[in-house]
Structure formats: structure tokens, C-alpha cells
Amino acid sequence: MINPHNITPSGDSAPQQAYQQTVEAVLAQKKSHADGLSTAEAVGRLKSYGPN
């Protein structure tokens, strides 16, 4: 169901917050999955973004 208050001026639906989406959709957007990141992906992100 689309809330009319969530329509942008262009007529598109406004982006949903993470809590409004399925787990699968959020994981896909974050390029992750329920099992976590692969070792290669974790190493790549550490190189790109540094430690927490």
C-alpha cells in the first residue's frame, strides 16, 4: 500500500527506511547476506574504509 504522503514531486515512491523493508532487501542493498561478509569482502572493506 502506498501512502500518498510518501510520494515525491516526480511521482515516485519515497525511499523506504530499513525497518520498512524485508531483511532480504536490506541485505541486498548493503551487499551482504544473512551469513555475513565473505573473508574477501571483509578484507576489501577494511582496506577501503579502515577499522571501526
pTM: 0.47
Residue 11 lies in a domain: no
Residue 41 lies in a domain: yes
| pLDDT for res 45 | 92
CB-based contacts of 14, cutoff 8 Å, min separation 6: 6, 7, 8
Residue 35 lies in a domain: yes
| The predicted structure's pLDDT at residue 2 | 55
Residue 21: inside a domain: yes
**2 located within any domain:** no
Helix (H, G, I), strand (E, B), or coil: what is residue 42? helix
What's the total number of domains in the chain?
A: 1
For residue 44, being part of any structural domain is answered with: yes
Per-residue pLDDT tens digits for 5-52: 555 566 667 778 999 999 999 999 988 889 988 899 899 999 999 998
| Coil, helix or strand at residue 38 | coil
Domain, as residue range, for 32: 16-52
Residue 1 counted as domain residue? no
Examine residue 3 and state whether it is found in any structural domain, yes or no. no
